[in-house]
Chains A and B, each alone.
Chain A
Amino acid sequence: MKRAVESTVESTVESGTRRPLSTLAPARGPWNSAAAGHLARRALFGCGPERLQELLELGPKDAAATLVADARAVLVDPQLAAAEALGTRAAVEAHWMARILAPDSTPVGRGRLAERIALLWHNHFATSVVKVEDSVLMLRQIDTLRRTGAGDARAMLRSMVQDGAMLVWLDGDGSRPPTPNENLARELMELFALGRGNYSESDVKEAARALTGWSVRGRHVEFAASRHDSGDKNILGARAPFDALALASHLSEQPHFARRVAHRLVRELLTDGGDEQAEAVLEQELHAQDFDVLGTVQALFASELFYDLRWREAKVAGPVEYLARCSLALGVFLPPFEVAQLAARAGQRLFAPPTVEGWRGGADWMHGSALLVRREAAWALAQRAASSPALRPEGELNLSDVWIRLHPGAPAAVWLDKVASMASTASRRERDARRILELLDAPQTHLM
């Protein structure tokens, strides 16, 4: 891996303007349903058996290319205006959840990677409706992140300094000289672009001056030159009359920016705790891809690194991931609003991360009350699944098929016979639902 990184650096120097090749070594390990299942869980929140078969037949390189092409085809949400017209918090949550749960057979479902990446950026630019108090502004932010966050990460950063929800959330709204609000400037540096320790207090103060002049009136984002500090600012070693866009560009040109983006990709797509080595490789890849996010993700999904066995079923599924993967694998669905509520009660309300640092994820998802809510959701799904003809090929529930749908390529769990032999005086339908419940709520199913 290290050699690959070095050779890219060289080729960048030698080739001048020509884009260097991927720094990620291509996948060489066995390509089987376990590997394809891993890809489906991380890229699509899981999928049904038909789509899995399709990925399996394509091989890792073409599978990654297909996933990305399908996502690029659905970045524009044709129903955005309709959702805005409804405008309530419930309608807006349901709208996004419906895209996340779109079945494999639909274009949005085929392109679910777009929603996976939008959720990833939602957790990075973590903005909450609790303070913004306008669900439409929140919906617009996610729409912006879906579009800009699929392409050039530097353009995404620029889009966020002019975003209405972001301006309200971090007090950029109404910030003006001589006492600019420093909140947005600080988070831009600390969380969004550079990371702690990579800037000074004076950089924050100067950046806050650059961000003055913006306000949010109703849902209108406005800039007034009269409320903007147009003087020179000293930021990270450069002196210029920075405004918001120039500041965002400047930050995205800092060496730490690519690392910050790589850190997010690794945390969300590979491993909860982050991984220095993987981040270094992805940082190089981002440069190689000229900061194109989906291009980088495609290279990752086709790489040896991605299929390393140490990541397999070793990442705790967040509530949204968990509910989506259960539904998509079994092909049974609850109303999107209900799913949004269940996810919220399990600790992840869309549009309402707890702090600007987002959901911490990992072990934090695994507390008793949240797991009871997951079980309640699993029970609702299991009751539907017990009547699904697809899961009862000959009128009888095929329990090992349910297991394989949830865990493609994984050996049957040693406790599976305990579930199969669960005694019950209830009806057959009820008994089947209880069996499916135990597979949906199995420890493995809470792992991605």
Chain B
Amino acid sequence: MASRRDVLAGGFAAGLLGSGLLRFGAATNSATNSATERDTVLITVELHGGNDGLSTVLPLEQERWYQLRPTLSQVARGSHPLAPGWGLHPSLPQLAAAFAEGELAIVHGVGTPVPERSHFHALELWHRGTRVAREERDVREGWLGRAGKLAGVLDAGAPTALYAGGDIPPLSLYEGGQAPATWGGRSGGAPVASQALAEAQVAAAKGRTHELVAHAREHARRLGERIARAEGTPLLVPWPASGLATDLARVARAVHHGWGPRVYGVVLGGFDTHLEQAASHERLLAELDGALGALRAELTQAGWWSRTAVVVHSEFGRRAAENQSRGTDHGNGAPVLLLGGALGGGLYGTAPDLEQLVDGDVPATTDLTHLQSTLVSCWLEGAGARVDDALRRLFPGG
């Protein structure tokens, strides 16, 4: 059943690094000037709550799937074919189109070597990208925040990472204890202060703390100016009306109006579907599909799509069997979606075999930290970068 491509040599965590998966390297390699090479951006879409992988990427030809999921397997009808034996949830037509055009890669079975069923701990593992020693835990820092710092910015003075959203930024985007630049809340917020007033306030500051605050405000004022400028620019394609679309449209504006960071993050919550999963999951995936479709169209028009990688992940997958409430409980391995104009599409990693579950779960066959390091070292740093160095810097102590 598994194609050659489905099975990567080396088993667990042999890594995508050596597999030649993800043609990221090729894309950046072929760039002729260094400025273009550095222009790549990484956008992460975090699905909080634990997305049900087996209702997203469907093992249509595995009899066991229908047995384990008497109601949830009804999504087989209307699903979009991917490859023999596999389909996408009916609510994902635009992702299916991207797959057909070779712009969507799906990595099966990503997760942590030891299953972690607490949202809190699983997210922390994913966000930090490493099991962090106790002494280091008070440093709030995540893999994307570090990656943004390593990758550098496209515009002097720009923030190294941007979170678009109205909530607290996820830990993944923090760096050195600092939250990422954030673009959220209502558009057309407070008027930006005048530079003259801010300068007068900095000049009038007396004492260390007062000066610190005055300087921080001046920094915030410049960030506010960036947001105000970008908010005034038109979008190139129609976008759906949804929370995720609002956030991703801000990311798209920041990318093509030269905000400068190379790392972006958005969050879509609500995936903790313990009961009556089918309806809410369908709605969530439709929101995801609509927003990602628009992002793809927008950045294609803007000429950025071939330099963009979008990674869609969740803290864990869900149990292979549905529960008594027609929902699913916390599981382990789950597919990660990678979307972009120059990524190369296809199915990668070890495909889940529902006759070979581990403790009722799809096991994690690709260590998430390997996927993270692949994205950073190949996509952001370029194929010429020393992967070992990147690994060491990205995952200190890991």
> Which residues does A use to contact B, with CB under 8 Å?
128, 130-131, 133, 272, 313-316, 341, 344-345, 347, 349, 354-355, 357, 360, 363-364, 366-373, 375-376, 378-379, 413-415, 418-419, 422, 434, 437-438, 441-444, 446-447
Contact = CB atoms under 8 A, between A and B. Distances in A.
Interface size range of chain B in the complex: 35 or more
Contacts of A355: 137-138, 140
A382 to B, nearest CB: 8
A306 to B, nearest CB: 18
A438 B193 CA distance: 8
26 contacts: A130-B119, A272-B209, A316-B213, A345-B167, A345-B185, A364-B177, A366-B212, A367-B216, A367-B219, A368-B216, A368-B219, A368-B220, A369-B181, A370-B179, A371-B220, A372-B223, A376-B189, A379-B191, A413-B204, A418-B196, A419-B197, A422-B194, A437-B190, A441-B217, A446-B217, A447-B213
Interface string B219-260: 110111001000000000000000000000000000000000
B207 interface: yes
A-B CB proximity, top 5 nearest: A379-B190, A369-B182, A371-B220, A366-B216, A131-B120
Contact of B227 (A344, A372, A378): A372
B223 to A, nearest CB: 4
Contacts of B216: 363, 366-368, 371
Given A344-B167, A418-B200, A419-B197, A367 B217 contact: no
B204 A415 contact: yes
Contacts of A422: 194, 197
Given A345-B184, A376-B185, A443-B201, A131 B140 contact: no
Contacts of A418: 196-197, 200
Contact of B220 (A372, A419, A437): A372
A375 B200 contact: no
A444 B180 contact: no
A368 B223 contact: yes
B83 interface: no
A131 B315 CA distance: 14
A363 B196 contact: no
Interface string B195-214: 01100110011010110111
Contact of B209 (A315, A367, A369, A379): A315
B178 interface: yes
B190 A313 contact: no
B343 to A, nearest CB: 30
B168 interface: yes
B168 A349 contact: yes
B200 A414 contact: yes
B85 interface: no
Given A372-B227, A434-B191, A367 B179 contact: yes
Given A372-B223, A442-B201, 4 more contacts: A131-B119, A379-B190, A415-B204, A438-B193
Given A130-B120, A368-B219, A314 B209 contact: yes
A447 B217 CA distance: 12
Nearest to B212: A363
